[in-house]
Amino acid sequence: MRKIIYAVLLFICTSTCLSSCVTRSRLIEANKTIDSLKNENALLIAENEELLNGEERLVKLYNMNVSKGNYLSAEENYNNFVKYHPASILIKELEKSINDVSNKAQSQRDSIDKIIRDSIRLANIDELGEWKIGDYVNDFNEPTGEHYVYQRIHGRFSNSATANGDLLVKIVIHKGYSRYALKDIDIDVNYDEYCNGTIDEKGFGNWRQYDAIRIVCHDTKKVYVNDQSFRDLHENGTDNYFLMLDILKQNNKIDFKVRGDYKTVYYYTIDTKYLENALLKAGIETL
C-alpha cells in the first residue's frame, strides 16, 4: 500500500514539474513574439508617419486645402510641416501665405464656436432669469406679434426732499425703428419714485442723461462711466467703449447709479442673467 502511495506521489510531482517547464517555455516564446510584434508595430508607425507627413505630401495637402478654403486643415498641414521638416527650404514659400491662412482658420474656429454657443442657447431658451417678455398690441388690444423684453427692479432714490426713498425701475428692451426701416435695439428705463404707479422720470433711455451714469459690475471688477458711449475706467486707451446693451449682456448683477433732475440720484441693481435668451425668444435678436 505504501509503495502505491509513493508511486502516485512521484507521478504527481513529476507531472507538475514537466507541466511547469512546458508552461514556462511557452511563456518565454510568447513574450518573444510580443516583443517582436511591438518592434514591427513601432516600425510601421514610423513608416506611416513618414508617409502621412512627408515633405512633398504636406506641401500638396497645404496647397489643396488652401484652394478649397479648408483653412483649419491647411494650418494643421503647415504646423506638421514645420514640426517634421524644420530645415526645409520650402518653409519660406509657405510662410508667404500662412498669416492669411491662420486668420481665416481663426474665423472658421470662431464660426464653429458660435454654432456651439447658439445650440446651447437654443437648448436653454426657456431660462429667462428675471427677464420677462411682453407683447405689443394694436388699437383693439390685439397682439401684433411684436415683443419686447422687460424687467422690474426695486431700488432706492435720494434728493433734497427724500433720503433713501422706495423706487421702482422698469427697463424695457425693444427693436428700434427709423422712419423707413428697422434699425438697432433700443433701451428705455422709467423711474417710479415712491412706487406709487406714477412715472416720475425717464432713465438712461434719454440720451441727455447718459453722462450721469456710473455702472459697477463686481463679478468682473469693471466700472463704466459715460463718455458719449460707456468707457471702462480700468482699461487704458481711448477706444475701449461699450454700448449699454453690451454691458447688460455680461450675464452678471450690475449696480447702477444715475443722476436725474433736481439733484435726484437713483440706485438699483439689474440681474442681467439670461438676457440673450430673452432677446432671442422675443425675436429681438436672431442667431
pLDDT: which is higher, 50 or 136: 136
Encode pLDDT of 187-224 as tens digits. Answer: 889 999 999 999 888 776 544 444 568 899 988 888 88
Q: Is the pLDDT of residue 11 over 90?
A: no
pLDDT bucket at 180, cuts 50 / 70 / 90: very low
pLDDT bucket at 25, cuts 50 / 70 / 90: confident
pLDDT bucket at 50, cuts 50 / 70 / 90: low
In single-letter form, the type of residue at position 71 comes to: Y
Residue-level pLDDT at 28: 75
Chain position carrying cell 431700488: 155
**Mean pLDDT throughout 236-246?**
70
CB 193 within 8 A of CB 233: no
Q: Which candidate, 162, 217, 152, 227, places its Cα nearest to that of 189?
A: 152
How far is it, in rounded angstroms, from Cα 32 to Cα 22?
Answer: 16
Residue-level pLDDT at 96: 93
14, 16, 18, 19: CA torsion to nearest 10: 160
Residue-level pLDDT at 200: 85
Residue-level pLDDT at 234: 57
Q: Which candidate, 150, 231, 148, 163, places its Cα nearest to that of 193?
A: 163
CB 242 within 8 A of CB 232: yes
**Mean pLDDT throughout 3-21?**
50
Q: Is the pLDDT of residue 178 over 90?
A: no
Residue-level pLDDT at 232: 62
Q: Is the pLDDT of residue 236 over 60?
A: no
Residue-level pLDDT at 246: 87
> Residue 112 class from Cβ within 10 Å (0-12 exposed, 13-18 middle, 19+ buried)?
exposed
How far is it, in rounded angstroms, from Cα 63 to Cα 59?
Answer: 6
Residue-level pLDDT at 221: 87
Residue-level pLDDT at 2: 47
Structural domain spans, the chain: 2-121, 132-281
Residue-level pLDDT at 26: 76
Residue-level pLDDT at 129: 94
Cell of 61: 495637402
Q: Is the pLDDT of residue 4 over 70?
A: no
pLDDT bucket at 124, cuts 50 / 70 / 90: confident
pLDDT: which is higher, 239 or 244: 244
Residue-level pLDDT at 144: 92
Alpha helices in 91-203 (DSSP H): 91-123
The chain-wide mean pLDDT, for the chain, equals 82
| Strands 165-177, 222-227: pairing kind | unpaired
Could you tell me which residues come within 8 angstroms of residue 269 by beta carbon, excluding any fewer than 6 positions away?
153, 155, 253, 254, 255, 256
